[in-house]
Amino acid sequence: EAQVTQNPRYLITVTGKKLTVTCSQNMNHEYMSWYRQDPGLGLRQIYYSMNVEVTDKGDVPEGYKVSRKEKRNFPLILESPSPNQTSLYFCASSLQAASTDTQYFGPGTRLTVL
Amino acid sequence: GESVGLHLPTLSVQEGDNSIINCAYSNSASDYFIWYKQESGKGPQFIIDIRSNMDKRQGQRVTVLLNKTVKHLSLQIAATQPGDSAVYFCAENPGGPGTYKYIFGTGTRLKVLA
């Protein structure tokens, strides 16, 4: 089944404790992206990657890092999480970085930073 | 379920009736628009898209209307079913062909009454 998977689905952590949220897609997609979703706000893009070893900042990159060492995986790294990073995170992928390519979203990761 | 739906405008519709969900977009230069459906605890799911050179596009039980004059997008769902209950939001691509950044709306919650 074609899908985007994220792990963990739920995570409660404390300020400053480094964490990684994994994202994997099995569709051989070139483009991958991370979003956060907060009440009253639309999805906001954190980072995106157009292909292996090519990443760039989205609209809200502060406090996050990403890597794209292989095509299928695009982990999101929070080196020193803070409470304002408490949010619902979605990973998405599309075949290419074209405006009309459908983005497929993962199921989300609910992160709480205490 | 996830809490991103708090404080969203809600549309309540009787099962079998038609639903109309509206979206005002922000950028007059946007040339591509998407409607997403997000069920509780899941990631956004593509429903239908439309390019700016069209006024209307139909899918299975769904129709998207685009009014560029007033920067307004609507999603019509025919014969609404309980499975249509979800949060619906629009996205616009403000960057023109070949770009891949989106502005996402905050969404409308659709409740289908039995």
In tens, the pLDDT along B15-66 reads 999 999 999 998 888 888 999 999 998 999 999 999 999 999 999 999 999 9
Do the Cβ atoms of A102 and B46 come within 8 Å?
Answer: yes
Sorted by sequence, the CB contacts under 8 Å of residue A105 that are 6+ apart come out as A4, A90, A91, A92, B43, B44, B45
- Residue A93 C-alpha, separation from nearest chain B C-alpha, in angstroms: 11
- Report chain B residues whose CB lies below 8 A from the CB of A43: 44, 89, 91, 102, 104
CB of B93 closer than 8 Å to CB of B104: no
Q: Helix and strand tally (H, E) in chain B?
A: 0, 10
| Residue A97 buriedness (CB in 10 A; 0-12 / 13-18 / 19+) | buried
- Residue B81 C-alpha, separation from nearest chain A C-alpha, in angstroms: 23
- Residue A40 C-alpha, separation from nearest chain B C-alpha, in angstroms: 6
> Does the CB of A105 have a partner CB in chain B at under 8 Å?
yes
> Does the CB of A10 have a partner CB in chain B at under 8 Å?
no
> Does the CB of A12 have a partner CB in chain B at under 8 Å?
no
Q: How confident is the model at residue B95 (pLDDT cuts 50, 70, 90)?
A: confident
pLDDT at B86: 96
- In this predicted structure, the answer to whether residue B3 has a pLDDT above a threshold of 50 is no
> Does the CB of B44 have a partner CB in chain A at under 8 Å?
yes
